[in-house]
Structure 1
């Protein structure tokens, strides 16, 4: 299964949720801090043979995003930033901020209710998590498990 994750306010934020610990090199290089639980969640998903994509509306460089996760000891299989999204969606008559089926994504994890509404409108699966949800990783794992049945 291919699972994609949004970045801002889902996996990255400076003040909305607890963060993973960073080392000196990460701080020196200005690596963004990940939400606490991301490392274990991604390792668990990889162990279950899922592919992990990042799907962000930001203009961050794909290589920098991959490097950020690699600096935490985890890998992502593919990065979709705003440039890739615009290039691919421009060929279709679809007007939404994210369209996971276009990249063969099975489930998209986000914090935005708007993305959930787009999923309902265009027929793709989402898992919406709150910035205050302390059990967000378990919620994701449970919903992925249900979608595999």
Structure 2
């Protein structure tokens, strides 16, 4: 089943406070961005694309969509949509100050993040999340398994209706 899946940036795909292994970075990459991406990101995005998923980036940072596209371009990753703090605030209006992420506003089926608080928001506001810890060395498998579980749940719901 193809989904729209969004990924957080800081401390999930890009090391910040949290540290984890990163993809190999050549001079070519450094021409586009000083930031590196988490090891496994390329293979995960390729696997998701093979399943027909559309990839979005959903971040609370103010980085511009153009900058974020340049960050991923050298790795062959082309997100279909970039949602930064500016767009989040514009679309959610007053609600933007009460919730850090709200994927349903952007037709996102499932959101991947590192912050347990986003998982709590998902429970409160009824949107599915996959929360990844910095020490999860098998995070790619975690995402793929949870996505498969989510697809099975959606299939079960459809069969019951």
- Specify the TM-score bucket, using the shorter chain as the normaliser: over 0.9
Q: How many residues align?
A: 149
Match of residue 105 from structure 1: 108
Runs of 4+ residues deviating >6 angstroms: none
Q: For each residue in 1:76-108, what CA deviation from the matched residue of structure 2 results, as whole angstroms up to 9, or x when unmatched?
A: 111000000000010658720000000000100
In structure 1, C-alpha distance between the alignment counterparts of 2:61 and 2:34, rounded to whole Å? 16
Give yes or no for the alignment of 1:5 onto 2:7.
yes
Deviates more, 1:123-132 or 1:15-24: 15-24
The structure carrying a bigger helix percent of its residues is: 2
Choose 1 or 2 for highest CA Rg. 2
Q: TM-score, normalised by structure 2?
A: 0.88
Q: Distance in 2 between matches of 1:33 and 1:103?
A: 26
The corresponding residue for 2:118 is 115
1:146 shift after superposition: 1.1
Distance 2:38 2:10 in 1: 10
State the 1:26 CA deviation: 1.8
State the distance in 2 between where 1:25 and 1:13 align. 19
Q: Which residue of 2 aligns with 1:136?
A: 139
Q: Displacement, 1:132?
A: 0.6
Name the CA distance, whole Å, in 1 between partners of 2:146 and 2:69: 25
User: Which SS does the other structure have where 1:52 is aligned?
Assistant: strand
Alignment of 1:16-95 (within 5 A): 16-90=19-93, 92=95, 95=98
Instruction: Give, in angstroms, the shift of residue 29 of structure 1.
Output: 3.8
Shift of 1:114: 0.6
Pairwise CA distance, 1:2: 0.4
Q: Any unmatched runs of 5+ in structure 1?
A: none
Report the CA distance between 1:25 and its aligned residue.
Answer: 2.3
Q: TM-score normalised to the size of structure 1?
A: 0.95
Q: Over aligned residue pairs, what C-alpha RMSD do you find?
A: 1.5
